[in-house]
Homo-oligomer: A and B are copies of this chain.
Amino acid sequence: MTRFFATPEEMQPDFLVLTGENAQHAKVLRLKAGEEVLICDGEGRECLCAVSDVSDGQISLVVKKRQESQTEAAVRVSVYMAFPKSDKLEHVIQKATELGAYEIVAFPSSRCVSRPDEKSLKKKLERWQKIAASASEQSGRGRVPEVLVLPSYKAALDRAAKADKALLFYENEQSTTLRMVLQSGAYQTVSLLTGPEGGLEPAEVSQAEAAGLQVCTLGKRILRCETAPLCALSAVMYDSGEF
């Protein structure tokens, strides 16, 4: 079934009117009166609607049923990633969204080569949020994960530590595995924190432990900075019973 993302204001109780890109899209798809579509508010709620009218720049819909989104993961996984170089963050935002991440949080760490300045940040955040929205639509999600930027490593640790399972992946950790941490008790929220290209500094790893994160390994092979969060996210989704 065709899915559209609407703004919260467009989500009216009985009748919906969509304009702009949605209306254009409806025209391209040649939607006809009577057809059913799914309208998502991007925050996990959706309604099944019947098309009542398609005209230039506007599509009118009658609400048939409201429901919680059926495609969101039960577990809320936050992906914390130290700013990587170039387009790697965009890659992670797209893939983590497909894989069901609840949010993606970028932050600076000592060895980050790339750090967007204050000026360019607003534009970049808009772009990143668009990538998340487009990946949500393509993967059939009912919620668009938020992309956040935190000002410091400490801010990232303090926020990440609040999850039921707060993990930091470190290539020099050899004994504690992701499995040990996940299977030590039930969880509904998970933070997965990974470093930039050059890795985290030993002092940063200690700081994370002090902040309450558990340091663990993702196995014997060294994963690139853009591979590690997606590998960990896939494993958490598997462990939590998503597939």
Contacts and interface: CB of A to CB of B under 8 A. Distances in A.
A139 B221 contact: yes
A240 to B, nearest CB: 10
Interface residues of A, number: 36
Interface string A46-84: 000000000000000000000000111100000000000
Number of copies: 2
A98 B221 contact: yes
A98, A223, A238 — most chain B CB neighbours (10 Å): A238
B98 A224 contact: yes
Contacts of A222: 98, 138-140
A218 interface: yes
A114 interface: no
Contact of A243 (B217, B230, B243): B217
Interface of A: 70-73, 95, 98-100, 138-141, 177-179, 216-224, 227, 230-232, 234-235, 237-239, 241-243
